[in-house]
């Protein structure tokens, strides 16, 4: 086996349980040997997601409480705490300050603070964090409530500015890049400045679509291709850096 074939593809943030044909997407992902972290949006979905993934070699489920459903699922925080000892992967969690969800922002902060504090206390957790329109608040909270070196924060679909990006890097955060980021001007600007040592790839499927079709883990090569164009770096170099970062996080 050459070195190249050992560089695996990574989808560090998607929602495999939410595809209408989830069984075939799971099967294709496993067959293609793409290391995939699938989110749960509510703790209530954890058992099903765990059941769908725990026998797979390449797919793992993360335990989350999505900021966009905090208003409806606030009471599920206790369930999230109950399941936390069953996994090292946490997501999707974080904050969303966009207009539609801002009314629950105080509740979101309460939940996210609890999640950060519990993850820091248990140690060794790997978090996939949402930060739409509030990157600086998310970073404030990470700084304040996630006081540990024992664990990793991955900022998913980051849309903050370059100062937020620098601050996140100084806090040790990684960034998982998707096909929407490579399309937007701010996303391209951020990607061009991110060090190769702190990038990962994600699809955020089925929410993210390309030409009307939900992106899935097998589409990761096209995202690597876009990153390689933005960073003017060889495809294999981008791919191997992402694989190395993935291994470093899992260490």
Interface with Mn ion by CB under 5 A: which residues? 92, 204
- If the CB atoms of residues 73 and 231 are measured against Mn ion, the closer one turns out to be 73
17 or 92: whose CB is closer to Mn ion? 92
Nearer to Mn ion by Cβ, of 151 and 205: the residue is 205
Between CA 157 and CA 47 the distance in angstroms is 26
- What dihedral do alpha carbons 204, 205, 206, 211 form, nearest 10°? 110
Query: Minimum CB separation from Mn ion for residue 92, in Å?
Result: 5
Give the span between the Cα atoms of 105 and 209, in whole angstroms.
27
- Sequence-distant (≥ 6) Cβ neighbours of residue 217 within 8 angstroms: 9, 11, 14, 25, 28, 29, 32, 34, 36, 203, 205
Rounded to a whole number of angstroms, the minimum distance from the CB of residue 40 to Mn ion is 10
Pick between residue 39 and residue 227 the one whose CB is nearest to Mn ion: 39
Nearer to Mn ion, 202 or 231 (CB): 202
Hey, how many other C-beta atoms are within 10 angstroms of the C-beta on 99?
Answer: 8
CB of 121 vs Mn ion, minimal distance in Å: 25
Q: Euclidean distance between the first and final Cα of the chain, in Å?
A: 23
CA dihedral 164, 165, 171, 172 (to 10 degrees): 160
Residue 104 vs 231, nearer CB to Mn ion: 104
- Least Å from the CB of residue 130 to Mn ion: 7
CB of 149 to Mn ion, least distance (A): 26
Give min distance, CB of 164 to Mn ion, in A. 19
């Amino acid at each position: 086996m050459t070195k190249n074939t050992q560089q695996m593809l990574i989808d560090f943030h998607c929602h495999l349980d939410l595809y209408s044909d989830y069984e075939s997407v799971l099967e294709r992902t496993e067959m293609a040997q793409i290391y995939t972290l699938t989110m749960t949006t509510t703790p209530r979905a954890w058992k099903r997601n765990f059941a769908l993934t725990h026998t797979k070699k390449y797919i793992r489920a993360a335990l989350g409480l999505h900021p966009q459903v905090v208003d409806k699922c606030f009471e599920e925080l206790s369930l999230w705490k109950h399941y936390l000892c069953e996994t090292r992967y946490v997501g999707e969690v974080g904050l969303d300050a966009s207009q539609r969800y801002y009314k629950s922002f105080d509740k979101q902060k309460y939940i996210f603070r609890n999640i950060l504090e519990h993850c820091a206390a248990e140690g060794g957790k790997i978090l996939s964090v949402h930060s739409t329109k509030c990157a600086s608040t998310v970073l404030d909270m990470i700084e304040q409530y996630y006081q540990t070196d024992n664990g990793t924060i991955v900022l998913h679909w980051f849309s903050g500015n370059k100062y937020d990006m620098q601050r996140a890097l100084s806090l040790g955060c990684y960034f998982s890049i998707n096909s929407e980021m490579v399309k937007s001007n701010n996303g391209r600007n951020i990607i061009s400045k991110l060090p190769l040592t702190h990038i990962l790839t994600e699809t955020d499927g089925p929410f993210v679509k390309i030409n009307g079709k939900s992106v899935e883990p097998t589409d990761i090569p096209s995202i690597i291709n876009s990153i390689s164009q933005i960073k003017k770096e060889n495809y294999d170099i981008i791919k191997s850096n992402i694989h190395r970062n993935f291994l470093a996080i899992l260490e």
